Chains A and B, each alone.
Chain A
Amino acid sequence: MSGFTLEQLSSRLGSHIESSSEFRGENTYFVAPEKISEVLTVLKEEFNFDYLVDLTAVDYLGIKSPRFEMVYYLHRFGEQYDENIRVRIKCSISEDKPAIDSVTSLWAGADWLEREVYDMFGIVFNGHPDLRRILMPEDYDEYPLRKDFDVRNREPSKRSFKKALSEGNF
């Protein structure tokens, strides 16, 4: 599809979009978490958003409920590589069972990004091929970017460090 417009996108996604906002040319669409893979599949397959720029999460503890929000940044280069259109897709995830579908089948690059979100926020990605911690030690037992985790709490890191030393497991 060439000559992409945002109107086409909103009419195609229709009721999947819960709300949308625009700020200085940046377009954000909120969708329901159970619709995320459907929406992202449409964006990739029909609207040629080939490139997943980033995928991350935000913890709105005490600010919003549900607490977590997933953020996907998609980029469309266009057929002649002359377009450079970006959209941002967001969806909320509840606190008690934070989980969402993995998008690794759409963009292989989502693999490590989802592992990072899992590592930092404890959000589980259903269908991810290898969901392990990526930055913190594998036996680490906290989710450090959650707002209820004290950013200066080094005790969990020390525990993993001592365990790695005593087991000779580096």
Chain B
Amino acid sequence: MGLNAAPTAGGEGFLTTTVNSVANWGRKNSLWPMPFGTACCAIEMMGAMMSRFDLSRFGAEVARFSPRQADLMIVSGTITYKMASVCRNIYDQMPEPKWVIAMGSCTCGGGPFDSYAVVQGIDEFLPVDVYIGGCPPRPEALIDAVMKIQKKIDIEGAPIV
């Protein structure tokens, strides 16, 4: 990125950059999460979005309950196989590029539920970018995960589609 600040008044200067880096800069600072909360972890996710922890400070403010308007899926809660097909379907409806956070022990590896109905880690059917351990993780951990996603977008970026 090159910056040519005009010696006189503002507005005269210009930036040189690439379309990709501007797009990724925009993406990482305005992640729109699709909250997929199915159990207790979802309460902490709500906590992270409310004013005390205020996820919106990092641009991930607008929780979209429509997958078509979201680019970050936060899966928080126990995922059963019956729910897994729904979860995958919703993920498929999200436009590219998209990222996934597995929030809590349940989504990372089944958590306390080693049972016939519970998926032992959502990476069985979803490409997970960031895992957060904890039962439940604290809101700070979710904020940390969002910031890791931002870093990932910054480093890896995503093609313009």
Contacts and interface: CB of A to CB of B under 8 A. Distances in A.
A158 B114 CA distance: 14
B36 to A, nearest CB: 14
A149 B115 CA distance: 11
A158 to B, nearest CB: 6
Interface of A is mostly: loop
Contacts, number: 44
Contact of B89 (A135, A144, A170): A170
B117 A164 contact: no
A165 interface: yes
Interface string A154-169: 1011101100110010
Q: How large is the interface on B (under 10, 10 to 19, 20 to 34, 35 or more residues)?
A: 10 to 19
Nearest to B110: A154
A152 interface: yes
Interface residues of A, number: 20
A150 B81 CA distance: 17
Contacts of B88: 165
A153 B81 CA distance: 12
Nearest to A166: B85
B85 A164 contact: yes
Contact of A153 (B85, B86, B116, B125): B116
Given A136-B117, A144-B117, A152-B115, A170 B85 contact: yes
Contacts of A136: 82, 117
Contact of B85 (A135, A144, A149, A161): A161
B76 interface: no
Interface string B97-113: 00000000000000000
A153 to B, nearest CB: 6
A137 interface: yes
Contacts of A161: 81-82, 84-85, 125
Given A135-B82, A170-B86, 9 more contacts: A137-B81, A144-B116, A150-B116, A154-B116, A157-B82, A157-B117, A161-B82, A164-B82, A165-B88
